[in-house]
Amino acid sequence: MTGKPRKGRRPGARGHGQEVTSGPSPRAPRHETAPSLEIYDTTLRDGAQAEDVSFSADDKVRIAKKLDELGVQYIEGGWPGANPKDIEFFRMIKTIPLKHATVVAFGSTRKASNSVEKDPNLRALLAADTNTITLFGKSWGLHVTDALGISMSKNLEIIGDSIAYLRARGRRVFYDAEHFFDGYRANRDYALETLRRAVEAGADRLILCDTNGGRMPWEVREICSLVKREFKVPLGIHAHNDTEMAVANSLVAVETGVMQIQGTINGIGERCGNANLCSILPNLQLKMRRPVLGERHLARLREVSNFVAEIANLIPSKHQPYVGDSAFAHKGGVHIHAVQKNPATYEHIIPERVGNRQRVLVSDHAGRSGLVGKVETYGLRIAKDHPKLQELLATLKDLENQGYQFEGAEGSLELLTRKAVGKHQPSFRLLGFRVIVEKRQADEPPISEATVMIKVGEAIEHTAAVGSGPVNALDHALRKALEKFYPQLSEVKLLDYKVRVLAASHGTASKVRVLIESGDHKEKWGTVGVSENIMEASWQALADSIEYKLLRGDR
């Protein structure tokens, strides 16, 4: 549940917006004279390769605009030689004025059987009409011989003439050294030779790729340091997350002097994903003192994270550092008591710097201090020693013992709180409901029908509706009965519905907890119900969802 938004300065901070920690950070590197960093976002290409993610050309344009607003320097738009959707994106993005970002086309070096002039992939890259092209080639002998089936010398030839061909046509070329770290470990001299050919052909950047995501930070530091000494061309890092090291590997690469960091919003990508820019960006700016976006842009990070998740049709990770709902959420009574005195006691940065906010969770771990703070966020005032506060705390702990969970049900929690302190008048009263599920043919889906009877003031409404399932039918019937009294309910959408069996020891007679997320054009809220009967639990959550919407409309 959201607490009061706080201003950008903490108690005891030495300056506005300054990070406050419990003491000095001796391991944090200093980079007063370090060169500017480049942020290269590959959400639209590498991120789109994630399982369950599919972007239309329109989706990609909308995301590109958000990334530009965030302030990234490069946006990799896709592989124009791979599919028509990416070709359409490059056509559309030409008409969109971008303030900060350069759009980049991505593709591979030529095929061994083609000349550069006749290679379809290189032609498609030029047709995308971007000033900058990222070209990937093989750095690992295993891929050269086993995947491409060519000689090591032929691979060097392909790298050189592909880059030279694009450079001769006026394009800047970033060379992605695919599998570079694995190739370096297998055959250091050959991996370095692939980079040397790229530089000789005119590559503007050398991007060192941990394509399999298997390298450790100390390996990345060692190898990047050596490459930095060998080559004067600016370096980049492209890390995958198969060992949960992509962010760490990207940051240690920066420590060695790598200037371009590639990654994706929310870390989405093939297999286990890519380096997560939602962690990298604040780590660079707030921890390593390497400004990459500026405070104003960094404050939009959570907004962009949620936007990309929405377009990708993914549920945002609550526990994602910096931008997740739980990143600055406090549940334990000791924690809550401390952060109310000084947020720096349990928060490593001011949440607003990345567009997030502090949240105080009320649960059976909470004490009176935490509950007082929560009540105040609802615009209510109650003394810490007021009997109703102790009653509310006892009620909350009893309900959580029964299986209720209010951390994800802020709507139900606010209603319960207002009822406890005598500040809520119900908008309607249930007189009864009935749900029928009928399956008429074995090969046909069942039919669900719900009937509800409610009372609004002195008026009684009795109505029925069908739905794609029993809960959907009940939702439809409730709205149908209430919308004649409260037209604003037409704005409410049921966004998510979760059921959890609380104790399986009783089999099908076990209690279940239903969590519902609802929303309108302004906000989202959660409600909860618990019962041995799934329809009763669903009714509790649905009714609270409607009540919460009507409550918000009264303010």
pLDDT at 11: 38
Q: What's the DSSP call for residue 96?
A: S
| H or E segment and range at residue 529 | strand 524-531
Angle at CA of residue 87, ends 311 and 69, nearest 5°: 45
Longest dimension (CA), the chain: 88
For 47, the 3-state DSSP assignment is: helix
The full 3-state SS of 286-342, as one line of letters, equals HHCCCCCCCHHHHCCHHHHHHHHHHHCCCCCCCCCCCCCCCCCEECCHHHHHHHHHC
Calpha distance 169→193 (Å, rounded): 24
**Phi-psi bin for 179: left (phi > 0), alpha (psi -120 to 50), beta?**
left
The residue whose two tokens read 């570079």 is 180
pLDDT at 18: 41
Residues 6+ apart with CB under 8 A from 168: none
459, with CB counted inside 10 A (0-12, 13-18, 19+), is: exposed
pLDDT at 400: 77
Query: Which of 70, 74, 41 is CA-nearest to residue 204?
Result: 74
Would 403-423+492-555 and 428-485 be classified into the same CATH topology? Answer: yes
Give pLDDT < 70 ranges for the chain. 1-35, 333, 361-370, 373, 407-408, 503-509, 553-555
| Phi, psi of 530, rounded to the nearest 5 degrees | -135, 135
pLDDT at 376: 75
Distance of CA 371 to the CA centre of its chain: 29
In this structure, which topology does domain 428-485 adopt according to CATH? Double Stranded RNA Binding Domain (3.30.160)
At position 553, the amino acid (one-letter code) is G
Distance of CA 355 to the CA centre of its chain: 13
| H or E segment and range at residue 193 | helix 188-200
Q: What share of the chain is helix, strand, coil (3-state, %, to 5)?
A: 40, 20, 40
Calpha distance 194→415 (Å, rounded): 65
Calpha distance 170→131 (Å, rounded): 8
pLDDT at 263: 98
On whether the 403-423+492-555 domain is CATH 3.30.160.340, my answer is yes
Structure tokens given for 174: 């970033």
The residue whose two tokens read 């503007």 is 204
pLDDT at 504: 57
Entry pTM = 0.70
Calpha distance 283→276 (Å, rounded): 11
pLDDT at 12: 37
Specify the CATH superfamily of domain 38-311: Aldolase class I (3.20.20.70)
pLDDT at 2: 41
- Domain-by-domain residue ranges, the chain? 38-311, 329-400, 403-423+492-555, 428-485
Residues 6+ apart with CB under 8 A from 537: 499, 512, 513, 514, 529, 530, 531
